[in-house]
Amino acid sequence: MDEVALFRVLHVAGAVLLLGNVTVTGFWAMFLYRQRPAVPFRSVARAILWTDLVFTVGGGTMLTVSGILLMRVRGYTIGQTPWLAEGVGALVASTLIWLVALLPDQWRLDRMDPTNDVALRKVFLRWMVVGWGTTGVLYYGLWAMVTGSVA
């Protein structure tokens, strides 16, 4: 296998891990939030933190490193490649939103008193709204990268 093929495989695998995790986590969290009386939400929040550490950070790292390696091998520059600039911009924007808003809310959900339903609902709803918006930004980045690179 040549290095470009290897970098492409790693890039696609990283995108699958990242996008798959944020999408599936949103659905499972929504489902399990509604099951709070039967499933303690603190364990759900802790699982979200762990899956983010393994799959979101792991997939995002794989995506970023392989993307940089592909840029170097292929001679792409962000400034001269609009689809690359849009894809990288979407990844950077979503990462910043995750660090500034989503991750702190995840920590709050993990440490929150599970009997304080009003506070739990407020933080969870904010996490869901911001999270789905950020997921949309990631899917836009995927769209920009795929459609722009084949044009």
**Region 2-18: what's the mean pLDDT?**
96
Contacting residues for 14 by C-beta, under 8 A, at least 6 apart: 59, 60, 61, 62, 63, 64, 66
**Is 0.85 surpassed by the pTM of this model?**
yes
Q: What is the pLDDT of residue 151?
A: 60
Q: What is the pLDDT of residue 59?
A: 97
